[in-house]
């Protein structure tokens, strides 16, 4: 299977770390985010991928090269100006239009979810979105009917709410709905939802972290250490 990693963003909320380094090359637990992703995708059966790059693109290209160090083939689509996730993906159409299905991953997440489950669900649709349960950023206080505090839960996982995991499986039909410039989450997904063209697949017990802020790096490193300790 082929995959696309959307790695062209500025990472503004991670400055000054991203002043001279693109966000996908920031290290988490001793390894760049991009390395975590490429290794995970390879284990998931991906043998060829395209990186959509823009900001500090030369550093990503220098680090990954043709993909030999990771044991797969890597190509690049370069954004001369920011196109958003939808515009960036649209530029990969020539690479992917003959595929039955392909994976797309945001360049700032680390996970071990199994994308093969998504590939099994995508036939007949434009795509499948991976969902993970919401991790509360705050501690939760449970109360009883009389107003007494009964339980204190420190940043629990809230299975009542599900968030976009930034991992997708698409068919070439997706290119009919992509903008030349704009984000797929706000321009494409609502249109697909209206037409029942996109499914959502829930992943309950997986490792997943998004890296958007300095605090996210710290929390991801702690999560990775805990995940390794539990295995």
Query: What stretch of H or E contains 132?
Result: strand 127-135
**Do residues 199 and 129 make contact, with C-beta atoms less than 8 angstroms apart?**
yes
Torsion over CA: 11, 219, 207, 141 (sign): negative
The span from the CA of 222 to the CA of 72, in Å, is: 29
- The catalytic position among 31, 97, 123, 155 is 155
- C-alpha radius of gyration, the chain, whole number: 18
Region of 140 please: left (phi>0), alpha (psi -120 to 50) or beta: beta
Spatial distance between the Cα atoms of 50 and 89, rounded to a whole number of angstroms: 10
Say whether 31 is catalytic. Answer: no
Q: How far is residue 63's CA from residue 150's CA, in Å, rounded to a whole number?
A: 51
**Maximum CA extent, the chain:** 64
- Asked if 54 contacts 9 with a C-beta cutoff of 8 angstroms, the reply is yes
Q: What residues have CB less than 8 Å from 9, skipping those under 6 apart?
A: 22, 23, 54, 55, 82, 107, 108
- List, by residue number, the catalytic residues: 155
């Amino acid at each position: 299977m082929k995959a696309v990693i959307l790695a062209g963003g500025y990472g503004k909320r991670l400055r000054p770390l991203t002043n001279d380094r693109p966000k996908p090359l920031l290290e988490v637990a001793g390894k760049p985010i991009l390395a975590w992703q490429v290794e995970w995708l390879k284990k998931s059966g991906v043998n060829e991928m395209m990186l959509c790059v823009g900001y500090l693109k030369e550093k990503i290209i220098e680090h990954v090269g043709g993909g030999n160090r990771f044991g797969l083939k890597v190509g690049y689509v370069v954004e001369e100006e920011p196109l958003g996730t939808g515009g960036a993906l649209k530029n990969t159409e020539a690479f992917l239009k003959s595929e039955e299905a392909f994976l797309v991953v945001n360049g700032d997440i680390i996970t071990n979810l199994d994308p093969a489950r998504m590939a099994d669900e995508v036939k007949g649709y434009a795509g499948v979105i991976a969902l993970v349960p919401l991790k509360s950023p705050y501690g939760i206080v449970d109360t009883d009917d009389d107003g007494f505090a009964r339980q204190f839960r420190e940043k629990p996982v809230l299975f009542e709410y599900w968030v976009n995991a930034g991992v997708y499986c698409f068919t070439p039909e997706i290119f009919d709905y992509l903008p030349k410039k704009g984000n797929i989450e706000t321009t494409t997904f609502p249109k697909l939802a209206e037409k029942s063209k996109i499914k959502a697949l829930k992943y309950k017990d997986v490792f997943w972290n998004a890296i958007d802020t300095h605090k996210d790096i710290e929390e991801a490193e702690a999560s990775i250490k805990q995940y390794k300790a539990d295995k």
